[in-house]
Chains A and B, each alone.
Chain A
Amino acid sequence: MHAESYLRPPLIQGNKTYLQITEDISRSVEAKPSRSWWIATTISAIVMTWGLICIAWTVWFGIGTWGLNRTIGWGWDITNFVWWIGIGHAGTLISAILLLFRQKWRTGVNRAAEAMTIFAVICAALFPVFHMGRVWLAFYNLPYPNTRGPLWPNFNSPLMWDVFAISTYFTVSLMFWYTGLIPDIATIRDRAKTKIAKWSYGLLSFGWVGSAKHWQRHEMLSLVLAGISTPLVLSVHTIVSFDFATSVIPGWHTTIFPPYFVAGAIFSGFAMVLTLMLITRKVLNLEEYITLDHIESMNKIIVLTGSIVGCAYLTELFTAWYSQNPYEQYAFANRALGPYWWSYWGMMTCNVISPQLFWVRKLRRSVWFTFFMSIVINCGMWFERFVIIVTSLHRDYVPSSWAMYSPTWVEISIYVGSIGLFFTAFLIFAKTMPVIAMAEIRHIMKTSGEAQKKAALAEHKHHGHDTHPLPNTN
Chain B
Amino acid sequence: MDEKFIFPQRLKTISFALMAIGLIGTAASFFLYSDEEGVQRWWANMLLNAVFFHGISMAGAFFLAATYVAYNGSITVFKRVPEAVAGFMPYSALLLLLVLIFGHSSLYEWTHADVVESDPLIHAKVGYLNLPFFFGRFAFFVGILLLLSYLMRKNSLAEDQHGGITYYKKNLTVGSLFLLFFAIYISVTSWDWLMSLDPHWYSTMFGWYTFASFWVTGIAVMTLVVVYLKKRGYLEVVREGHLHDLGKLMFAFSVFWTYLVFCQFMLIWYANIPEETGYFRQRYDHYMWLFYTIFIMNFIAPFLVLMSRDAKRKMQILIIAACIIIVGHFIDFYLIVMPGTVGNKGGFGLPEIAPPLFFAGLLIFVVFTNLTKANLIPKNHPFLDESLHHTT
Binding site for B on A (CB under 8 A): 1-8, 100-101, 231, 234, 238, 242, 245-248, 253-259, 307-308, 311-312, 315-316, 319, 322-325, 359, 466, 468
Can you report 28 A-B residue pairs in the complex whose CB atoms are below 8 A from each other? A1-B389, A4-B386, A7-B168, A7-B383, A8-B71, A100-B248, A238-B263, A242-B267, A245-B271, A248-B271, A253-B267, A253-B271, A253-B273, A255-B263, A255-B264, A256-B204, A256-B208, A257-B267, A258-B263, A259-B263, A307-B180, A308-B183, A311-B184, A315-B187, A319-B203, A319-B204, A322-B202, A468-B165
Min CB distance A364 to B, Å, is 12
Q: Out of A7, A255, A258, which one reaches B382, CB within 8 Å? A: A7
Known: A256-B204, A315-B207, A324-B124. A246 touches B187 (CB 8 A): no
Which residue of chain A has the shortest Cβ distance to B204 in the bound complex? A256
Which residue of chain B has the shortest Cβ distance to A258 in the bound complex? B263
- Check B205 for interface membership: any CB of A closer than 8 A: yes
Within the assembled complex, what's the spacing in Å between the Cα atoms of A468 and B380? 12
Asked if A246 and B270 make an inter-chain contact with CB atoms under 8 angstroms apart, the answer reads: yes
Given A247-B271, A255-B268, A307-B183, 13 new contacts (CB under 8 A): A2-B389, A4-B73, A5-B382, A8-B73, A245-B267, A246-B271, A248-B271, A255-B205, A308-B183, A319-B203, A322-B191, A323-B202, A466-B164
Interface string of B39-58 (1 = CB under 8 A from A): 00000000000000000000
Q: Out of B73, B205, B270, which one reaches A256, CB within 8 Å? A: B205
Binding site for A on B (CB under 8 A): 70-71, 73, 121, 124-125, 128, 163-165, 168, 176, 180, 183-184, 187, 191, 202-208, 248, 255, 259-260, 263-264, 266-268, 270-271, 273, 275, 382-383, 385-386, 388-389, 391
Within the assembled complex, what's the spacing in Å between the Cα atoms of A116 and B5? 52
- Of the listed residues B73, B204, B206, B270, the one surrounded by the most CB atoms of chain A closer than 10 A to its CB is B204
Q: Out of B73, B168, B191, B203, which one reaches A255, CB within 8 Å? A: B203
Within the assembled complex, what's the spacing in Å between the Cα atoms of A91 and B113? 55
Within the assembled complex, what's the spacing in Å between the Cα atoms of A3 and B389? 6
Q: Which residues of B contact A254 (CB under 8 A)?
A: 204, 267
Within the assembled complex, what's the spacing in Å between the Cα atoms of A253 and B264? 11
Asked if B125 and A255 make an inter-chain contact with CB atoms under 8 angstroms apart, the answer reads: no
Min CB distance B87 to A, Å, is 26
6 A-B pairs with least C-beta separation: A256-B204, A255-B205, A3-B389, A258-B263, A246-B270, A5-B386
Which residue of chain B has the shortest Cβ distance to A4 in the bound complex? B386
Q: Which residues of A contact B263 (CB under 8 A)?
A: 238, 255, 257-259
Q: Which residues of B contact A466 (CB under 8 A)?
A: 163-164
Within the assembled complex, what's the spacing in Å between the Cα atoms of A322 and B266? 22
Q: Which residues of A contact B203 (CB under 8 A)?
A: 255, 319
Within the assembled complex, what's the spacing in Å between the Cα atoms of A316 and B271? 17
Q: Which residues of A contact B266 (CB under 8 A)?
A: 246
Min CB distance A102 to B, Å, is 8
Within the assembled complex, what's the spacing in Å between the Cα atoms of A223 and B269? 36
Q: Which residues of A contact B275 (CB under 8 A)?
A: 323, 325
Within the assembled complex, what's the spacing in Å between the Cα atoms of A6 and B71? 12
Within the assembled complex, what's the spacing in Å between the Cα atoms of A466 and B270? 61
Q: Which residues of B contact A2 (CB under 8 A)?
A: 389, 391
Q: Which residues of A contact B207 (CB under 8 A)?
A: 315
Within the assembled complex, what's the spacing in Å between the Cα atoms of A70 and B384? 63
Asked if A316 and B204 make an inter-chain contact with CB atoms under 8 angstroms apart, the answer reads: yes
Min CB distance B51 to A, Å, is 20
Which residue of chain B has the shortest Cβ distance to A97 in the bound complex? B252
Q: Out of A3, A248, A253, which one reaches B386, CB within 8 Å? A: A3
Min CB distance A219 to B, Å, is 15
Min CB distance A305 to B, Å, is 12
Q: Which residues of A contact B168 (CB under 8 A)?
A: 7
Q: Which residues of A contact B164 (CB under 8 A)?
A: 466, 468
Asked if A324 and B187 make an inter-chain contact with CB atoms under 8 angstroms apart, the answer reads: no
Q: Out of A5, A242, A311, A323, which one reaches B383, CB within 8 Å? A: A5
Asked if A259 and B271 make an inter-chain contact with CB atoms under 8 angstroms apart, the answer reads: no
Known: A8-B71, A247-B271, A325-B275. A3 touches B385 (CB 8 A): yes
Known: A1-B389, A246-B267. A255 touches B165 (CB 8 A): no
Within the assembled complex, what's the spacing in Å between the Cα atoms of A311 and B183? 8
Min CB distance A347 to B, Å, is 17
Min CB distance B330 to A, Å, is 23
Q: Which residues of A contact B121 (CB under 8 A)?
A: 324
Which residue of chain B has the shortest Cβ distance to A241 in the bound complex? B263
Asked if A5 and B73 make an inter-chain contact with CB atoms under 8 angstroms apart, the answer reads: yes
Min CB distance B331 to A, Å, is 21
Within the assembled complex, what's the spacing in Å between the Cα atoms of A242 and B207? 19
Asked if A259 and B383 make an inter-chain contact with CB atoms under 8 angstroms apart, the answer reads: no
Which residue of chain A has the shortest Cβ distance to B74 in the bound complex? A102
Q: Which residues of A contact B255 (CB under 8 A)?
A: 231
Which residue of chain B has the shortest Cβ distance to A303 in the bound complex? B176
Q: Which residues of B contact A468 (CB under 8 A)?
A: 164-165, 382
Min CB distance B137 to A, Å, is 12
Which residue of chain B has the shortest Cβ distance to A156 in the bound complex? B270
Q: Which residues of A contact B206 (CB under 8 A)?
A: 255
Q: Which residues of B contact A319 (CB under 8 A)?
A: 202-204
Min CB distance A374 to B, Å, is 22
Min CB distance A96 to B, Å, is 12
Q: Which residues of A contact B383 (CB under 8 A)?
A: 5, 7
Within the assembled complex, what's the spacing in Å between the Cα atoms of A242 and B263? 9
Min CB distance B344 to A, Å, is 24
Within the assembled complex, what's the spacing in Å between the Cα atoms of A468 and B73? 18
Within the assembled complex, what's the spacing in Å between the Cα atoms of A291 and B184? 33
Asked if B204 and A315 make an inter-chain contact with CB atoms under 8 angstroms apart, the answer reads: yes
Q: Which residues of A contact B205 (CB under 8 A)?
A: 255-256, 259
Within the assembled complex, what's the spacing in Å between the Cα atoms of A313 and B76? 35
Which residue of chain A has the shortest Cβ distance to B191 in the bound complex? A322
Asked if B391 and A255 make an inter-chain contact with CB atoms under 8 angstroms apart, the answer reads: no
Q: Out of A7, A259, A308, A322, which one reaches B260, CB within 8 Å? A: A259
Known: A6-B382, A242-B267, A253-B267. A324 touches B165 (CB 8 A): no
Within the assembled complex, what's the spacing in Å between the Cα atoms of A242 and B187? 22
